[in-house]
Amino acid sequence: MRCILVILVSISAVWSLSLKREKLSSVSPPDGNWTTQWYEQQLDHFSYGVQQLTFMQKYLVNIDHWNRTGGPIFFYAGNEGSIELFALNTGFMFEIAPEFGAMVLFAEHRYYGSSIPFGKNGYVHKQYYQYQSSMQALADYVELLAHVRQTYEGAEKSPVIVFGGSYGGMLAAWMRIKYPHVVQGAIAASAPVAQFTGLTPCEKFGQVVTHTFALQGQECVQTIRKSWDAINKMAATAEGRAWLSDAWRLCKPLNSTDDAKNLKSYLSDVWTNLAMADYPYMANFLAPLPAYPVMAVCQPMKFLKDEPKEILLEIFEGLSVYFNYSTTATCLSYESSMPSSLDDNGWFLQSCTEMVMPMCYDGKNDFFEPQAWNLTEFSETCVKKWDVRPEPYKMEQMYGGRNLKYASNIVFSNGLLDPWSSGGVLEDVNESVVSVIIPEGAHHLDLRSSERADPKSVIQARDVHKANILKWISEYSNSV
Amino acid sequence: MRCILVILVSISAVWSLSLKREKLSSVSPPDGNWTTQWYEQQLDHFSYGVQQLTFMQKYLVNIDHWNRTGGPIFFYAGNEGSIELFALNTGFMFEIAPEFGAMVLFAEHRYYGSSIPFGKNGYVHKQYYQYQSSMQALADYVELLAHVRQTYEGAEKSPVIVFGGSYGGMLAAWMRIKYPHVVQGAIAASAPVAQFTGLTPCEKFGQVVTHTFALQGQECVQTIRKSWDAINKMAATAEGRAWLSDAWRLCKPLNSTDDAKNLKSYLSDVWTNLAMADYPYMANFLAPLPAYPVMAVCQPMKFLKDEPKEILLEIFEGLSVYFNYSTTATCLSYESSMPSSLDDNGWFLQSCTEMVMPMCYDGKNDFFEPQAWNLTEFSETCVKKWDVRPEPYKMEQMYGGRNLKYASNIVFSNGLLDPWSSGGVLEDVNESVVSVIIPEGAHHLDLRSSERADPKSVIQARDVHKANILKWISEYSNSV
């Protein structure tokens, strides 16, 4: 079912994106500049029967610049992957640590990376994975912070600022919302807190992807929009499939319409990932990408054609920028968009319980092949795979969606190239829950290390972050 | 172990107190003026493995005065007992419903009254009772409110005001703190949100009890303070025990020093309960009581004596007001302070997990027999009985204790006669989290029906409640 693939890969893209980029910048991001620690974490924070059960949660600490007499703790609320990946790719926190005299602390999210309860069995049976939820993860962070405060002399009364990008950004915002007595403020970057049923129309996400491509010209959009039919036509005959397999240098030739379905699914993911990864400098995402990759991809896809083969040859040229920018690929592997690592398992599970983010496409206001959002079908897939049923209204009920008027001390930042901005907070909510828009920004560009090619808007966004952090810290200092 | 008894009985007194009073007032409280409903509630809101498991939660609804076009929902966050008891004794909500055009809704707390998951097995094994926690209960209320909004036409956009007294008051405040997008404001009466380790000195509670008695003269306080030694002296010999058993008309004669221990424990509970129940009108608590029962009890206990027997005869006269005001008791049953109903089981369990409220006495600043707070000993009792260990810092970590500067729209009311005011919020926190003090008030007097004998301070407190509710509702109406 395509929707699942799109959702999963898009979200997993979140970190892959941030994390696999080569170091090309003048300011190098920190590289393992921390100590790795473990905390014996309670498995269930809300019920008391299993309180004795624990798991080892990984966290990373850097105290190089920490001012032990009142310096703040910069805390990263880990999301769906190994915590090192986030630490390596949230350079902003390390960059500003010296001027704030901050301890830098990254906590791994339960059931990801190395913090998997029940080890290998973690995803085997519901009995083991039932404790995977955002609420439990937030409670982990609260508990871990209490531990760190006790462990590091001088940290007991340090103010805590929580950071996060994407799902981590949602967690950062929710942590401030639910535990304002624990964290003094939150930088929530590209956090789609409203990407849920009833809060954001399901077609919005695909429209933003399309919009990002449209900035490179309607011809590029038109070409992609026409490509689905072209693929369908080719895939309908053995001869057509053979031609496409050959023309696109597919690693696995198309043998059926199911194969064609997978190919289209892969393509949808690619366009989505490109919009998310549309950074102003060379980066390494699912594949290495040039600066402004959407521009590069659209370059050869601007010639409006009607003939299916011609359209598909154009598409392949653009696609090559994505799958073969390094020019070392021998063939195009369209089945690899969803690797089956534990991390993907984790997000698949979460999207089958609480992180239900409806996506749909109409092919008119977006360039995707039309597809409705089908909760029933999705639900059946979840029951089959995980023996759980999605709860589409759960996150709104728990955290309030965009209804945050009583929250405080949160900066929501969103890049307008980033499809996830569709579910983000794009307007100030009140005087201390504010929105920062980065028109030229892709997915949480502001959390990355400074780069020469950074647009002015992301530099300004980082200044807004710093000003708010300063305000929150002084507010806190005046109150203790 | 005495501490457990004191804590439990004192807390269970909370509702017994409110609930068993005879109707003597001009304004009768409502009597079964509601429909009883059931909602199939999720057992675990924070983990997803057991989401299919549910239990039937009882709730009571009165829509006699409800304005279906925008009228508010007055929601009572049920505490540790049958929900009918609270509905029968929170007359204030019913009294003001007509002027607000409000729906009145009372929800039973899981594992109390008739809302016991796993039925008879509810308290048999940890596997069944692990889901008993304040966090789960709050999530029940959020879920139930969503259900009611969908079920009652016109309720979808109604503002919700949450009420509660004692533990229910804690839940009301915490509900607003954790789910401000669900409830627009909270009336938290006699809510000891800070009666936890490190937030309130353990001796404070007993000092307030003593203070309430001291208002009737230091002689009364002195007499009680001297009584412990007097009992110890009598209990040391068979002859003394026989004398005391006879003089106090004990149902079960004192046969050992253990019996004497139980008798002292009972006495401690009685003095505590009297302070909590020190209402300005006749009421029926563990026993029927006259108006201003502490005054009545102290009346015969004002003659300073030195001789043990004389002291104890005085005490017995005062005690008679408590155990035999109805003059129908044939003997004094000192073993009955802790009935073993399910409700008490529930609170015992909760105090062994999250509701760990340290109490201690020094006999100098209070009139109790000196006793330290011994967490280790308490903990062992909990492991033995429930196979769980207390988490003394849990509630502060979850809800913030008195550190509520970022909360909004809560009125904390406290009567100064009420020992639980020791753990209450007694000062304004910010402009919308305010404190109302009722100097002449006992335990959540303000939530009870109006009575002729009500002191001016409680009438004023109710006016503060109404003004705030009005403000919260209009604030909400302006925002939707």
- Quote the minimal CA–CA distance from B291 to chain A in Å: 42
Mean pLDDT throughout A144-152? Answer: 97
Catalytic (active site) residue B333:
no
Chain A residue with Cα closest to B128: A49
Chain A residue with Cα closest to B144: A397
Give one word for B448, left, alpha or beta, with left for phi > 0 and alpha for psi -120 to 50.
Answer: beta
Mean pLDDT throughout A471-478? Answer: 95
Which residue from A45, A50, A397 is facing B130, i.e. has the nearest CB? Answer: A50
Digit-by-digit pLDDT tens for chain B (480 residues) are 333 333 323 333 333 323 333 333 333 445 668 999 999 999 999 999 765 799 999 999 999 999 999 899 999 999 999 999 889 889 999 999 999 999 999 999 999 999 999 988 888 888 899 999 999 999 999 999 999 999 999 999 999 999 999 999 999 999 999 999 999 999 999 999 999 999 999 999 999 999 999 999 999 999 999 999 999 999 999 999 999 999 999 999 999 989 999 999 999 999 999 999 999 998 765 567 899 999 999 999 999 999 999 999 999 999 999 888 878 888 998 876 543 333 678 899 999 999 999 999 999 999 999 999 999 999 999 999 999 999 999 999 999 999 999 999 999 999 999 999 999 999 999 999 999 999 999 999 999 999 999 999 999 999 999 999 999 999 999 887
- Model pLDDT, residue A324: 83
Give the burial class of B198: count Cβ atoms within 10 A of its Cβ; 0-12 exposed, 13-18 middle, 19 or more buried. exposed
- Model pLDDT, residue B458: 98
pLDDT at residue A22 greater than cutoff 70 = no
Could you tell me which residues of chain A have a Cβ less than 8 Å from any Cβ in chain B?
A: 44-51, 126-127, 129-133, 135-136, 142-143, 146, 178-182, 353-354, 388-389, 391, 393, 397-401, 403-409, 479
Query: Is B181's CB within 8 Å of A406's CB?
Result: yes
- Model pLDDT, residue B85: 86
Query: Is A405's CB within 8 Å of B50's CB?
Result: no
Query: Is A130's CB within 8 Å of B403's CB?
Result: no
Give percent of chain A with pLDDT exceeding 90: 81
Per-residue pLDDT reduced to its tens digit, B440-461: 999 999 999 999 999 999 999 9
pTM over the 0.90 mark: yes
**B122-131 contact pairs (CB < 8 A, 24+):** B122/B342, B123/B342, B123/B345, B123/B346, B123/B349, B126/A48, B126/A49, B126/B386, B126/B387, B126/B388, B127/A49, B129/A49, B129/B349, B129/B386, B130/A44, B130/A47, B130/A48, B130/A49, B130/A50, B131/A47, B131/A49, B131/B43, B131/B44
Per-residue pLDDT reduced to its tens digit, A171-227: 999 999 999 999 999 999 999 999 999 999 999 999 999 999 999 999 999 999 999
pLDDT-based confidence at A285, cuts 50/70/90?
low
pLDDT-based confidence at A51, cuts 50/70/90?
low
Chain B residue with Cα closest to A144: B397
Residues 6+ apart with CB under 8 A from A218: none
Among the ranges given (A4-8, A288-292, B225-229, B452-456), the one the predictor scored with the smallest mean pLDDT: A4-8
Query: Is B132's CB within 8 Å of A393's CB?
Result: no
Instruction: Count the alpha carbons within 13 Å of B88 in the hemisphere toward its beta carbon.
Output: 16
Is residue A185 within 8 A of residue A476, CB to CB? The reply is no
| Closest residue by Cα to residue A106 from A153, A52, A171 | A171
**What tokens does A100 get?**
């704030």
- Quote the minimal CA–CA distance from A407 to chain B in Å: 8
pLDDT at residue A131 greater than cutoff 50 = yes
Is residue A431 within 8 A of residue A207, CB to CB? The reply is no
pLDDT at residue A3 greater than cutoff 50 = no
Which residue from A48, A129, A180 is facing B388, i.e. has the nearest CB? Answer: A48
For residue A404, the chain B residues in CB contact (below 8 A) are 181
Query: Is A136's CB within 8 Å of B49's CB?
Result: no
- Model pLDDT, residue A7: 32
Residues 6+ apart with CB under 8 A from B256: none
- Quote the minimal CA–CA distance from A127 to chain B in Å: 6
Query: Is A49's CB within 8 Å of B129's CB?
Result: yes
For residue A403, the chain B residues in CB contact (below 8 A) are 181
**What tokens does B60 get?**
């009571």
Testing the interface with B: which of A48, A118, A157, A177 to mutate, by most B Cβ within 10 A?
Answer: A48
Q: Which of B12, B16, B82, B166 is catalytic?
A: B166
Chain A residue with Cα closest to B409: A406
CB pairs under 8 A between A and B: 106
Per-residue pLDDT reduced to its tens digit, A370-404: 999 999 999 999 999 999 999 999 999 999 999 99
Give the burial class of B32: count Cβ atoms within 10 A of its Cβ; 0-12 exposed, 13-18 middle, 19 or more buried. exposed
- Model pLDDT, residue A287: 63
pLDDT-based confidence at A4, cuts 50/70/90?
very low
pLDDT at residue A350 greater than cutoff 70 = yes
β-strand pairing of B54-62 with B35-42: antiparallel
Is residue A130 within 8 A of residue B49, CB to CB? The reply is yes
Catalytic (active site) residue B443:
yes
Catalytic (active site) residue B133:
no
Query: Is B391's CB within 8 Å of A47's CB?
Result: no
pLDDT at residue A24 greater than cutoff 70 = no
- Model pLDDT, residue A30: 54
- Quote the minimal CA–CA distance from A93 to chain B in Å: 25
For residue B405, the chain A residues in CB contact (below 8 A) are 479
* ipTM of this complex: 0.89
**What tokens does A223 get?**
């070409």
Residues 6+ apart with CB under 8 A from B49: A126, A127, A129, A130, A131, A388
Which residue from A51, A136, A178 is facing B47, i.e. has the nearest CB? Answer: A136
- Model pLDDT, residue B335: 77
Residue type, B378: F
For residue B132, the chain A residues in CB contact (below 8 A) are 47-48
Testing the interface with A: which of B121, B181, B197, B480 to mutate, by most A Cβ within 10 A?
Answer: B181
Q: What is the CA radius of gyration of chain B?
A: 22
- Model pLDDT, residue B96: 97
- Model pLDDT, residue B191: 98
CA distances from B161 to B5, B317, B403 (A): 34, 45, 22
Query: Is B48's CB within 8 Å of A354's CB?
Result: yes
Which residue from A131, A400, A408 is facing B47, i.e. has the nearest CB? Answer: A131
- Quote the minimal CA–CA distance from B74 to chain A in Å: 19
- Model pLDDT, residue B267: 96
For residue A146, the chain B residues in CB contact (below 8 A) are 393, 397
Mean pLDDT throughout A425-431? Answer: 97
What's the 3-state SS for B326-378? CCCCCCECCCCCCCCCHHHHHHHHHHHHCCCCCCCECCCCCCCCCECCCHHHH
What's the 3-state SS for A61-129? EECCCCCCCCCCEEEEECCCCCHHHHHHCCHHHHHHHHHHCCEEEEECCCCCCCCCCCHHHHHCCHHHH
| Phi, psi values for residue B282, rounded to 5° | -60, 140
Which residue from A47, A181, A406 is facing B44, i.e. has the nearest CB? Answer: A47
Among the ranges given (A4-13, A271-280, A344-353), the one the predictor scored with the smallest mean pLDDT: A4-13
Which residue from A133, A178, A479 is facing B405, i.e. has the nearest CB? Answer: A479
| Phi, psi values for residue A36, rounded to 5° | -95, 130
- Model pLDDT, residue B286: 55
- Quote the minimal CA–CA distance from A130 to chain B in Å: 4
- Model pLDDT, residue B16: 32
